[in-house]
Structure 1
């Protein structure tokens, strides 16, 4: 009898161990993708993580296991910028597992080929649509689309805690947070939340080892003052104009309100206005202008979010560096994607392949994304958000993180 009890106790412990070490959810596994005829070189997963049940707040992810050694290779979270742009931009156009060949007809899907330079060659990649309202991420409570830098960091941290619970076999892997453009804010603020959570004993502990930022927003003054020297260094403005603007602005291009400085800065803007700001050697696909929007049609409560006391000239320089378009800046308001994207695409960006692929019903079903009838069309950059730029300069975030060894 005693022997039988010991056996039962052992079996119970074994079952508990198996349950608590359950691996990736099979319901999230992607078995095939229309347009790709080969075999995946590693496992792909996608789906939703609910971070607020009461609001029905859900963040969507696409996860690609490393092709080398998934159990040991780092887990890398990728975030695109905006704010308001889907991280599937990085998946489709930058370092995802596939290269996309445009469809030959209007009624066929793009053809997918394996990307020999994919980051998933050596890393476990999480592509996250964040904040809620971006890409396939959504909430049943529209108040969640009023958000900001710090709320985005808190929500993304909540996602990570739940994601690593869903994929416990990756909890011990080195973990890195990465991104570009306005993710220069997303990444260090999220990394700081992770460090804070680990110190507070939140479980699971996230094995954060570092973070990566490419072409990132960092600080309004330093970023703003770098634009003119950068344009000159790239040969986009003449030596004479650079000399004139430097003299007129006394080296302060960011918040100098003198008439002479404004005049010379206008000439700099004129020189670079028709360029593709993402790749100066490539033409603009959509041109560089945005449709005008009627500011009077916006609800007064939402207009409050963009109000600022900064002078017009300063706002132009502050938000020219923060947005992936050269936004029109109107008196008293900082425009958001909701105001900028009135039925137009992001200037210079040819997003036809991603837009067609991610809005195809068969693709959405395969990657476990909600139907268009439920959450709307996938857009490269959304017009749903009303976004507070409330984190300020990233210099202190970088200082604290690097001094802590990240």
Structure 2
């Protein structure tokens, strides 16, 4: 009888702590998001946002936005999402890629965007944390410090500390499988953080995170593999002729990014001349191009240009919110090297970067009402929200990621490495080469994967639970270009089903 009473009491306690959508209410209620400017209606799941402070001198305040799964919150994986840069906000993923809303540009221009539910949100099948990292990025900030200096190693350590604190605030999610994901320069963030998490588990760091694996999309990985990826990509895509390719092969001898030979540099000049008019993030997409100073002086700002030129940057997506893109990965042909990394706003001051601007996200996230709704500090504390910050110095001090991937996969952690196959910024050719370089046995030879009876891309699966996957027709930010296909491979992989 006593045991029956204990079971009844436990059941009663569970029901008392459980909300209508199945989430145990241990989460801090002060972080609950109850509304968002621009959206009318009920959220399909609960949202939380706020700060977790780490360190003391100086204190770092890391901002997160947490979307609870719409499917089965207490069983679905918890996924951390990181955008790259380095120095770019993960609201990039929230607004433009796989967040719970699609953003429609306000009319007339300058009005708040209108938000609609995103049928391909990754919160359909997972709990997902969008984190602005490192401090100084997006809404995250350093307190009482003007020294915004960080790097790969410190960022991984800080993010691990964030996760431990986050799970203390949301302990109901500790039993859930946990995955780390990201794209672009997060090709560095993800494996370095994963290694920190694994180290913490071995050292019995509390709470114990139920870490299972990681995903990287079009990720920066290794100076040599990334640097040598562009020329084979350009040739394979028909962007340079056989003659140009043969000249580059003969003069550069396989070293396309680090040669000092004049003959090689002249041959590479032919490559860059051929591809200079393309959208670096997706060679299929149109783009706004710099006309040069002389023409700018004649026509003034873009609003004075002919209507046909103003529309040049529009994409074919139903909601044209990304007229142009602000860089989230390294310039083509220039792989990330060890040492201080120039951030995108700094690069933009020196050279013309095609496809720049993120008007809708910048407009929405800099509204005082939006900041209040998501519990972000006012502009007087964090400064204006920028997609990619200029307020930090960042040191690439972790080296090549290949040893990290090898160590993690050999320890039994799952890895999905995916590439939009029309990205020229971090071309799939480099990613395909470095995954093969690990020397793992091929379990599934190169084959198509299918969505809605159509080939959506190709994959190759290796031993040690490593999968390399391409998404046909996608650019640098896969879920932005192919949201339906992205949700398909994401959900199948998380559920342990064949892709």
CA 1:84 to 1:333, structure 2 compared with 1: closer, same or farther past 3 Å? Answer: closer
1:386 equivalent in alignment to 2:383? no
Aligned match of 1:370 = 377
CA 1:232 to 1:327, structure 2 compared with 1: closer, same or farther past 3 Å? Answer: closer
Aligned match of 1:285 = 288
CA 1:344 to 1:389, structure 2 compared with 1: closer, same or farther past 3 Å? Answer: same
Q: Would you say the 8 A contact 2:80–2:128 is kept in 1?
A: yes
- Note the alpha carbon deviations across 1:188-244, whole angstroms, 9 max, x for none: 000000000010010001111000001011110111111110111122222221111
Where does structure 1 lack aligned partners over 5 or more consecutive residues? 1-9, 291-319
Aligned match of 1:125 = 128
Aligned match of 1:358 = 365
In structure 1, what is the Cα distance between the partners aligned to 2:350 and 2:264?
A: 35
Shift in Å, 1:22: 6.5
Whose strand fraction is larger, Structure 1's or Structure 2's?
A: 2
Matching of residues 65-214 of structure 1 within 5 Å: 65-142=68-145, 144-214=147-217
In structure 1, what is the Cα distance between the partners aligned to 2:378 and 2:179?
A: 31
In structure 2, what is the Cα distance between the partners aligned to 1:286 and 1:53?
A: 45
The match for 1:266 among 269, 279, 294 is 269
**Segment drifting more, 144-153 vs 128-137:** 144-153
In structure 1, what is the Cα distance between the partners aligned to 2:87 and 2:258?
A: 26
Shift in Å, 1:108: 2.0
In structure 2, what is the Cα distance between the partners aligned to 1:355 and 1:327?
A: 28
- Note the alpha carbon deviations across 1:310-349, whole angstroms, 9 max, x for none: xxxxxxxxxx9952678899xx986334632549997414
The match for 1:235 among 234, 238, 241 is 238
Q: Would you say the 8 A contact 1:87–1:128 is kept in 2?
A: yes
- Note the alpha carbon deviations across 1:71-100, whole angstroms, 9 max, x for none: 000000000010011010000000000000
In structure 2, what is the Cα distance between the partners aligned to 1:58 and 1:347?
A: 33
CA 1:333 to 1:118, structure 2 compared with 1: closer, same or farther past 3 Å? Answer: closer
Aligned match of 1:315 = none
CA 1:396 to 1:44, structure 2 compared with 1: closer, same or farther past 3 Å? Answer: same
Matching of residues 24-43 of structure 1 within 5 Å: 24-43=27-46
Per the normalisation by structure 2, the TM-score is 0.68
In structure 2, what is the Cα distance between the partners aligned to 1:35 and 1:152?
A: 33
Q: Would you say the 8 A contact 1:74–1:123 is kept in 2?
A: yes
CA 1:107 to 1:225, structure 2 compared with 1: closer, same or farther past 3 Å? Answer: closer
Q: Would you say the 8 A contact 1:341–1:383 is kept in 2?
A: no
RMSD (Å) for aligned C-alpha atoms = 2.9
CA 1:183 to 1:390, structure 2 compared with 1: closer, same or farther past 3 Å? Answer: same
Q: Would you say the 8 A contact 1:88–1:129 is kept in 2?
A: yes
Aligned match of 1:339 = 346
1:62 equivalent in alignment to 2:69? no
Where does structure 2 lack aligned partners over 5 or more consecutive residues? 1-8, 18-23, 294-326, 414-499
Per the normalisation by structure 1, the TM-score is 0.83
Q: Would you say the 8 A contact 1:174–1:208 is kept in 2?
A: yes
CA 1:124 to 1:76, structure 2 compared with 1: closer, same or farther past 3 Å? Answer: same
CA 1:372 to 1:343, structure 2 compared with 1: closer, same or farther past 3 Å? Answer: farther
**Segment drifting more, 370-379 vs 250-259:** 250-259
In structure 2, what is the Cα distance between the partners aligned to 1:93 and 1:326?
A: 26
Shift in Å, 1:102: 0.2
Q: Would you say the 8 A contact 1:109–1:356 is kept in 2?
A: yes
In structure 2, what is the Cα distance between the partners aligned to 1:26 and 1:347?
A: 43
SS in 2 for 1:391: coil
Q: Would you say the 8 A contact 1:346–1:381 is kept in 2?
A: no
- Note the alpha carbon deviations across 1:143-168, whole angstroms, 9 max, x for none: 55101011110011010000000000
Aligned match of 2:412 = 405
Q: Would you say the 8 A contact 2:227–2:333 is kept in 1?
A: no
Aligned match of 2:440 = none
